[in-house]
Structure 1
């Protein structure tokens, strides 16, 4: 029997990314070892050796699991299990997260670029002190080997406060949890914490100088930088 050439075409089956395969193996290990909330996963070096991958590749899988709330990764203590989900549930959550990421980036570009410009026009000396303090926190975190996520969060909060726009601040608060997803992923990229800190400093200097246009451009460049994450590739 001949197949109708005009009929529906068959779509190519997407090959799972390596970090997705690693996620499955890590979840399989958690299940096999009957780990529960509060239990630690093996150290990253040990886990990478067992899986036969680089630590950078393993980090992508761990960050994805962290973003989805399965594990909590803390500097000095490693990965701690938060809850034990099914593999299917995690992969479904990963797909939803990947689909949401471009919209999160779009929202950040819309809101934070305007906030940076307003901060340059409206900031007070007290606002500037808050921005500088956040930069110091991030620098200290990175200097100790951490990713600088807390300092990063404080910096963007300080810029938002310096804009003195209650409505825009409410909108930023609304997307805060979604922004946290991109923050964790971005700061897990090799060399990204230092790059992010440098771009924060450029934003801060433009705000200090009262240059709204330069502050907006610096913020847009920063968002473009931090939006370059493995899960979107």
Structure 2
């Protein structure tokens, strides 16, 4: 049986369908709230509830005093749960293990499928390793998301991006645990070189070694306390 959707869920889907039918993309402005409510034949409070639902998954962006804009989530097949669980030592180790299981294969595919455009993006992202971890959030362009981008597979990009965004606090902790920026940068450059040369075996092996170093650094760090 197909579960029945609430009114706000149905309305949210209608808004998504309208965004797609009108070929709107991230950053495009949507009709004013009152006009959109009238066109959908709902009240403004009902529409706002649906918009807040879509805002949580970044399908729309509500800008106070400016209006409603299409968000980056409209292009995603995987939606990140906005309600993150508390960070614990185990959750940090879990993220490291998940990445170790997934990303070496992605690196191999990246070496096979890379293009000049995706390589340029990977080279720019490699420079992030030179910067200190940002406690406020993720780097502007994450190396491993750009690495997935070299595969040309949007779902793989979204998988890695969603994983890192879903566990952004753990990722910041990992960057503090693995705090040798020079080594991190050097390992990224080695992976970049293997991908550029189309060496899938080397890209996979180097990525596995890089993530194993990160895992080992986490295991050696005893200062992280569970947060409730």
> Is 2:216 the partner of 1:216?
no
The alignment status of 1:169 with 2:160, answered yes or no, reads no
Asked if structure 1 preserves the Cα contact closer than 8 Å seen for 2:129 and 2:182, the reply is: no
Match of 2:111 in 1: 120
Aligned to 1:181: 169
Any gaps of 5 or more consecutive residues in structure 1?
1-91
Confirm whether residue 195 of structure 1 aligns to residue 196 of structure 2.
no
Q: What corresponds to 1:48 in structure 2?
A: none
Deviation at 1:153, TM superposition (A): 4.9
**Structure 2 unpaired stretches of 5+:** 1-84
Name the counterpart of 1:106.
97
Aligned partner of 1:78 in structure 2 is none
> TM-score scaled by structure 1?
0.50
Larger helix share, 1 or 2: 1
In the superposition, the TM-score normalised over structure 2's length comes to 0.51
Alignment deviations for residues 23-76 of structure 1 (CA, whole Å, 9 cap, x no partner): xxxxxxxxxxxxxxxxxxxxxxxxxxxxxxxxxxxxxxxxxxxxxxxxxxxxxx
Alignment CA distance shift 1:232-1:213 (3 Å): farther
* Deviations 1:102-141, CA, capped at 9 Å, x for gaps: 33222211221111111100000111111111123443x3
Give the root-mean-square deviation of aligned CA atoms: 2.8
List aligned pairs for 1:1-233, cutoff 5 A: 93=86, 97-139=88-130, 141=131, 146-147=132-133, 151=139, 153-189=141-177, 191-227=179-215, 228-229=217-218, 230-231=221-222
Alpha carbons 2:107, 2:204 under 8 Å: kept? yes
